[in-house]
């Protein structure tokens, strides 16, 4: 039995024992919360806690790459450098090589964009088991939500790392205008930034295109994944189209101008073409 408070002199009978339950403070003193109501609130709070826990677990199961980039340590990765995480207990040589690859990729992105505004968290795996655990598949690397990068053992290379970092940098600079850039341009530009020799000739070539950009190119992510799965040369065709547009419109400055004009509200097709 809980008492609300002691009776005051001169006010007999004004205060009485509280009903079984919980005390809460009101404007005029302490009041009793009925036990049934207290139990109900406890049940609601417990339900909310369980719901949040289930949501977190659901994200981890459905989108492990998102969860891993949020909490690398939860997936057995340790910090190697600023925003760089890799598997624990790697030999010194592998750790040094990993850091050098990321530094070279960072240099390529900075050289192209004139600096970096993004700071993606990079998760690099040296084993396929690690890459599967953090949500990877058969690809070499992925830009996760254009905010972080995960790398497979086959993606620990300056070309692949700078390609994925280019996606993050472009979308960081575009902000809300990023949705107006077709996927072929995003991917083609990443090939140019990374100087991927599979899809572009060296910079000394007058025309760096390995194949022409004939035909329509995938505009959405879904279309891109379908096209790239059928023919990897869609990267080369997209890179060729971006390269030729840049060559005719001022080089790297054309990309900076595109970003500014998109941010100002212009449409992509009015700047680059259909």
- Which residues, 6 or more positions from 183, have their beta carbon under 8 angstroms from its beta carbon? 218, 219, 220, 221, 223, 224
Sequence-distant (≥ 6) Cβ neighbours of residue 230 within 8 angstroms? none
The pLDDT tens digits for 14-64 are 444 444 555 555 555 555 556 666 566 665 554 444 333 333 333 343 479
Q: What angle do CA 112, 117, 119 make, to 5 degrees?
A: 105
Longest dimension (CA), the chain: 102
Say what the pTM is: 0.78
191: exposed, middle or buried (Cβ count in 10 Å: 0-12, 13-18, 19+): buried
Tokens of 124: 């690099």
- Is residue 169 a contact partner of residue 154, using CB atoms and an 8 Å limit? no
pLDDT in tens, 210-236: 999 989 999 999 999 999 999 999 999
Distance CA 121, CA 70 (A): 9
- At 273, the pLDDT band (50, 70, 90 cuts) reads confident
Closest by CA to 154, choosing from 165, 135, 143, 138, is 138
Other Cβ atoms within 10 Å of 7 Cβ, number: 13
Place of tokens 């997936």: 75
Q: What average pLDDT does this structure show over 124-131?
A: 97
Distance CA 23, CA 236 (A): 71
Of 44, 43, 18, the C-alpha closest to 33 is: 18
Average pLDDT score over the chain: 85
pLDDT at 188: 99
Helices (H), the chain: 35-62, 64-70, 92-113, 128-133, 158-174, 183-194, 221-230, 234-248, 252-263, 268-271
């Amino acid at each position: 039995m809980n008492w609300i408070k002691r009776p005051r002199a001169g006010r007999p009978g004004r205060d009485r024992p509280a009903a079984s339950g919980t005390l809460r403070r009101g404007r005029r003193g302490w009041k009793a919360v009925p036990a049934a109501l207290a139990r109900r609130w406890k049940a609601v709070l417990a339900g909310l806690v369980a719901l949040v826990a289930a949501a977190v677990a659901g994200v981890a199961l459905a989108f492990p790459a998102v969860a891993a980039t949020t909490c690398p340590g939860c997936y057995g990765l340790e910090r190697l450098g600023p925003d760089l995480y890799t598997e624990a207990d790697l030999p010194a040589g592998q750790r040094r090589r990993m850091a050098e690859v990321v530094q070279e990729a960072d240099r390529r992105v900075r050289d192209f964009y004139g600096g970096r505004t993004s700071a993606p968290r990079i998760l690099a795996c040296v084993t396929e088991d690690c890459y599967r655990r953090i949500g990877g598949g058969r690809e070499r690397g992925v830009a996760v939500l254009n905010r972080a990068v995960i790398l497979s053992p086959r993606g620990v290379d300056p070309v692949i790392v700078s390609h994925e970092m280019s996606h993050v940098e472009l979308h960081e600079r575009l902000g809300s205008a990023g949705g107006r850039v077709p996927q072929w341009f995003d991917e083609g530009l990443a090939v140019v930034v990374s100087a991927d020799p599979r899809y572009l000739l060296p910079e000394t070539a007058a025309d760096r295109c390995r194949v022409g950009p004939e035909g329509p190119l995938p505009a959405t992510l879904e279309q891109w994944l379908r096209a790239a799965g059928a023919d990897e040369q869609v990267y080369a065709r997209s890179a060729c189209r971006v390269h030729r547009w840049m060559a005719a419109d001022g080089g790297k400055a054309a990309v900076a101008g595109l970003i500014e004009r998109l941010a100002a509200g212009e449409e992509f097709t009015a700047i680059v073409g259909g």
